[in-house]
A and B are shown apart, each in its own frame.
Chain A
Amino acid sequence: MNSAFFLVLRRMRAPIIGLIVIYAIAVVGLTLVPGITPEGLPAPPLSFFHAFYFISYTATTIGFGEIPNAFSDAQRMWVIICIYLTVVGWSYSVVTLIGLLQDKGFQNTLTTNRFRRRVRLLKEPFYLVCGSGETGALISRNFDRVNQPFVVLEKDELRVQELDLQDFKSDIPALAADARIPDNLLLAGLKHLKCHGVLAVTNDEEANLGIAIAVRLLNPKIPVIARARSPVVMANMASFGTNHIVNPYERFAEHLALAVASPSRFRLIELLTSLPETPIPKPHRPPGGRWILCGYGRFGKALAEHLLPTGITLTIIDPTSAESDQNITGHGTEARTLLQAGIEQASGIIAGTDDDVNNLSIAVTASELKPDLFVVTRQNQTANSPLFDAYGADFNMVPSHIVAQECIAILTTPLLAQFLTRLRDHDEAWSQSLVDRLQNLYDGLTPTVWGIRLNKQEAPAACQALMDGQSFSLRDILRNGMDRSEPLPAIALLLERANHFILLPDEDFKLAAGDQLLLASPLSTRHNLEFSLKNANELAYVLRGEENSGGWLWQTLRRS
């Protein structure tokens, strides 16, 4: 506000002084020129008051006429001069002001100030999303859907404008600024008390690195999640304690290997980490045996590293890499190359180059040669989704989706990571039974995975009830707040009590104050349950069917 105001004052100095001088000349002139009475006799000139009144309405081109009396010819001569003088003065001021408003720098100052004010006024915990590319936009949409406030920093002004045009439920504070500059991070609320985390998901690795280190130094208390592609940058980020590094290539390779080795556990992870309330993805059952890998860059290397231990043998096609099969020429986009690589004996193919058209070409050619082949495609651009959807690969990898899913899963539910690490101790049958329960939870859509702690801030009513000595189990609170005879469709995945973790707690498990729960349920169930746990009257209804009204007087009357 301040800098913009001073900028206006400074730029308007000359026109304002000009206007004052012109008004002074015009008014003083009018008080000197003699007037005339209706009878044609000489009259005294206008007083200062009348002169100022006359000039005020004449200069602004309102023009009430000659007030209070008709003017003498001498006065009219002077007024002619005044009119031209004042119109020039006003035009000059207005043109200067409009020029200032159109000034790029001035507009920037205004938007920056507005952004700063809006960030300062944020009352709820928010996340700072750096970069609004494909990944950032996906994260933004999902945050918006679960009513999670966030702030966006994006270098490209066009993308920020796109963000404004998208129909978000809430109005998102977004600024077109380079997130690598620490000042911009501070402007976006890095040191704001309510800033609960930073997501560095720009397309530029170096920028993500810069953001991560800036957050570590300026506000070490909050977590930073960074996206990285190359192992060097990952190692660098890990060296100064970036809380979470998301490498979509590594992650996808892990998932694919897991899908080969233990499909049910992979399916469980997929269901829990997919974007909430999206259609349930179809199950992937990649076969073992021999695979063809087209493209051996960072993605290909990560895949090879994870797939080889599962017992898969790979034939690598890449014209530039030294580690590929040197007898095979070409990219894999032609039938000849694929036949050379032994597609007849292969059980799967990975189209993993960094070119979407080539990947599609590989996939289509391979399916024509061998229709029952398991095809994995890598989709680099979200814009190509219709093409990949039309082709319908067995498994499609979209880097921006993987990063967004992981960021949201980690940030919104810290307990989920604990749950996922504990999965390793359980066998496939256990995973499969949980997968079946999750799939039946919500018709065709993935559940929302969320956590709640039974403490004063997150669930005040439940916490108070538990401290007052009431005892209730999971089954008691998982009831619909509108009709308590209906159970809520929710699965308690994990319960944490004083750093002890209980996997899949029983329905009869007695809760205690301070417990932290990880639940999977539809979004509406989440709102329903959260409301019951926050509002004492709702909780009394859910637990015991009591219809309390809130008022103190009414309750006292009822008791007496």
Chain B
Amino acid sequence: MENNPLQLTVSEFVALTNQTLEYAYPTVTVIGEVTEFRVSQGKWVSFKLKDAGAVVGCFLVLSQLRMQIEDGMKLMVVANPRLNNKGFFSLNVRAMKPVGEGSIKKGFELLKAKLEAEGLFAPERKRRLPRVPQHVALVTSTESAAYADFCKIINERWGGLSVEVAHTQVQGVPAPDQMIRAIRYFNSLEVLPEVLVIVRGGGSAEDLMAFNDEPLARAIAESRIPTLVGVGHEVDNSLADMVADVRAATPTNAAEILVPDRNEIIRSAHQQAKSLSYQLIQAIDEYSARTKEQLNAAFRRIQEKLDEHFERLATLRLATAQLNPENILRRGYAFLRGEVKVGETVEIETINSIAKAEVKDVRAK
């Protein structure tokens, strides 16, 4: 006892230990398997990390929990070591991430199930993107190949687009918060962009883990601007994809979904104009055919009237012919011209001759 000059109260000892820890190990990164995970009073999260030889307690507030965890998962935590006033040593967790394929997958499935149960992936929540947007917001790393690909494709396909780009990290611990700030920035603009695009190229499951962050998924789901997310390769699925209004398989695919191909639009415009010429020719043909048919009908009617008149004329001709005096002469009768008085000369006309004769006698009949 005499060899140790330092005498402290318990409180002083705890304070000194914490000062020493803060000086020597302000932040530590510890990897271990989760055990005894629990949430208390809907506010506090505690669990232990263990390995084959030791166990250490971990603590954080629920609002800092960005992923779903359960016993058995392997985690890497970034934490401040602390000795509390009750003499318990713990790690105050600042950040954490699952380690190893199994744990990453497990964390993903747990959070997916939670968000799905809340209806965040429901098809009825999905909004349609404008066919041809004019003002677009893009969240990505401007140093990435995905950004270069995205710009190349939209420039090839379309023009007249105003794109505002928020440069953020797209992997690592700071990435989700940076993307969330960018999403909130665009959603706070006085004139909202018509589409919010988030893109990132391919990578390992760990590289893409930022897109399985719960607050980021919620920020995308809450965006007032319709969202289009293209992360990784076609086979990669992230929670950011699932909550987005439209999922693109890749950043290139996001550009293809965002804007139409100008060459296709040009072809389509000419095709539409050309189709009108066919319709116009068809309409003229139909109009001509109808006019021709009407003219034919008119001619038929005129012809019918003419036929009727000709028939009537023929009847009249026949009747008239029957009244012809020559026909009477042919039947053997004769015309007598002159005054029928005794001593007068009269003219007698037959079919073949005209004779003159003197009236010798007149008697009443």
Partners in one complex: no
